[in-house]
Chain A
Amino acid sequence: MKRLPQILRIIETERIYLLLALAIVAVVILEPGFANPLSVRGVLNQAAPSLIVATGLTLVLICGQIDLSIGSTLALAGMVAISLQPELGVWPAALAGIGAGVLVGLVNGVLVAYARIASILATLASMIAVQGIALTIADRNTVSGIDIGTSLWIQSSIATVLSPTILAALAVVISAQIVLSQTAVGRTIYLIGGSDNGGRLSGIRTERYLVAAFAACGGLAAGAGVLLSLGLNTGSAYFGESTVFTVIAAVVIGGTSLLGAEGSALRSALGVLFMAIIGFGFAMGGIPTFILQVVTGTILLGIVLLDSYLGLRRRRAWRLRRIAVQHEATAEGTTA
């Protein structure tokens, strides 16, 4: 009987690989049509914006914070990028959209790091305010882009299974993963998420890292919004409405915790892919959307239950001690 917790623990830590493998096998068996490059590109194109949003959110979550404004930022950036096209041209307008998102992120970061407002409250406020701004831009209407060529290009085939959109998403995920796992900055972020005090007491300027994480999150949410809007050649203030829920769900299924200091960009990305694949499988199989929702919600509930049953907090404390030791070692190495 002692075996059971051990098996559960392995399932819990490796869950995203298991779930992803299961989903792929199930979809391939049930829908043999899935195993062709076109469907793969379709799924990846559709998942790309969420992959980018999830990466940004992961940075903030690892810091032990949350950002509820990602959906509004995504919508705002898309609106800006499309509605400024006639004046600025396609790419400068896209940059303006991303800039708007970075700005939102900076405001969030300053509110959390310097005004010391709990992130769930600060980003709840900015979520609502930014949504209002996005709605104002075209007075609740959608706007259409001027350049259908770009719109077709960014989802067009590169080496059959890829596209510019997909490459952008992969680049974001991979670079975030490298920063988080291979650099001192990455270790510091985990340390901050583990204990704000610990970080500050060991001389880290916690505030700057927090502002940077929120700015990155805002910028990435905006980047996702720009890609989404360019791909559809349409901007709408309603695009990001369910983003908070779906992305938080995907990220948690992937193994990034809302308690901070747990998870990685890679895991979050796999969580998004898992959701995209089962979504695609359900759509191809003609299974009604409501079953997909019930299944996703139930998986999420199962996972939080497993997390709390296995004492996520204890495991997290252990991991943090290890990171702190590594961090001290690096610090001593640099001063010596």
Chain B
Amino acid sequence: MSPMPEPTHGPMSGGEAAVHPGPQTAGRQAARTSELVRRNGVFIALLVVLVGATLASPAFLDASNILNVLRAVAIVGVMAVGQTFVAIVGGMADLSAGAVVGLSAVVTLGLQSALGPVGATVVGLSVGVTVGLVNGMLVGRFRTNAIVTTIGAGVVVNGLALWYTAGNTMFGGDDAFHAIGTGSTLGIPNIVVAFLIVASAAQLVLSLTAFGRRVYSTGGNYEAARASGIRVRRVVLLAFAISGLTGATAGIMLAALLDQVNYDSGAGFTFSSVAAVAVGGTSLFGGEGSVVRTIVGVVIIGILNNIVVLVGLPLNAQIVVTGAIILVAVAVDSLTRRRVRG
């Protein structure tokens, strides 16, 4: 076999090389198995984790415990839905997402007394969408580097949230609003319901609309998509705007749940939401993936964290386990990809 030049694998590249069928049938068989694992690995992993969790602790399958798992991941899950759009369109990740959560949350609670809960929530949403539009404008229209751009936007947004709160904790005080955040519908916590609604809507947009198809084409091959008449810059812009919207939604959920937030309440969520996308098997380099995968990624991380608690490991082990699972996921993805290339 002739040595094939390996594709570059920098943070700005990666992704797809042409499938290079091997000459021997055995090789082709192995490649096919690899491809199968790569495509379905995350779903197999979910099954394994579910079975493992059930064996590790009988308490796992309690309905209340399952709801606990979902409740714990709902907010990061909503952010991860937006990150999925950014990843599929080829924008890697929105690192301002955590800052947007913080700003939307403090604005939503802070304006409650002046505007009422509905008005405040609308402003909270608009703030997040605005940040998303600015990110999208820069990355889509002016083709700036997404990582640096969203770091910069995140720093500005964080500064604005600090300015708005003057470093103080914001309290809401609207009982109805707080009750929605902590309450349940038909036995399912409302924040889980919100997560499911956001995720389903997003999956429908991705798989059923023309915009969804354009997101895949733009991320899969930017130049080809542009040549075929897709307004790629606008598609990228909208993907980042969606991430701003989901960040704001997550912020409002956090505000409703806790009824007291700080300017940096979302700081820890940024990388968790990117991690969920990666574990789900959506490429950060564009063109492939789905919201369903991201949900599976979020749930896998949630279940593993839950097991850590159930079997009585120290809480810090959750973080180590999360790191390890991301590593396993991306390693399997990378190794099977290589096999496919032959």
Let me know if A66 and B147 touch, CB within 8 A: yes
- The A65-105 residues at the B interface (CB cut-off 8 A) are 65-66, 68
A117 with B159: CB separation less than 8 A: no
* Chain A residues near B274 (CB-CB < 8 A): 124
- Chain A, 108-134, CB within 8 A of any chain B CB: 111-112, 115-122, 124-133
Contact present for B322 and A301 (CB under 8 Å): no
Is chain B's interface secondary structure helix, strand, loop, or mixed overall? Answer: helix
Contacts of B271 in A (CB 8 A): 68, 124, 127-128
Whether A308 and B319, one on each chain, are in contact in the complex, defined by CB atoms closer than 8 angstroms, is: no
Contact flag A64-B8 (CB < 8 Å), given A249-B151, A304-B145? yes
Is A170 in contact with chain B by the CB < 8 A criterion?
Answer: no
> Is the pair A245, B154 in contact by a Cβ cutoff of 8 Å?
yes
Binds B, one of A12-20, A148-156, A224-232, A252-260: A252-260
A contacts with B: majority SS: helix
Q: A130, A195, A248, A290 — which one has the most chain B CB atoms within 10 A of its CB?
A: A290
User: Chain B residues near A120 (CB, 8 Å)?
Assistant: 11, 92-93, 147, 284
Decide if B143 touches A308 in the complex (CB within 8 Å): yes
User: Which of A27-35, A48-56, A179-187, A292-300 binds B?
Assistant: A292-300
Q: Which of A1-9, A196-204, A264-272 contacts B (4 or more CB under 8 A)?
A: A196-204
The residue of chain B having its C-beta at the shortest distance from the C-beta of A61 within the complex is: B11
Which B residues touch A121, using CB under 8 A? 278, 284, 326, 330
Is A336 at the interface (CB under 8 A from chain B)?
no
B71-107 with Cβ < 8 A to chain A: 92-93, 95
Interface contact A300-B316, CB-CB below 8 Å:
no
| List of A residues within 8 angstroms of B187 by Cβ | none
User: With A126-B327, A245-B151 as given contacts, are A132 and B162 in contact (CB-CB < 8 Å)?
Assistant: no
Residues of B within 8 A of A122 (CB): 327, 330
Q: Quick one: CB contact mask for A271-308 with B, threshold 8 Å, 1 for yes?
A: 00000000000000000111111101110110011011
B residues in contact (CB < 8 Å) with A: 5-12, 14, 92-93, 95, 138, 142-145, 147-149, 151-160, 162-163, 267, 271, 274-275, 278, 284-285, 314, 316-324, 326-327, 330-331, 334-335, 338
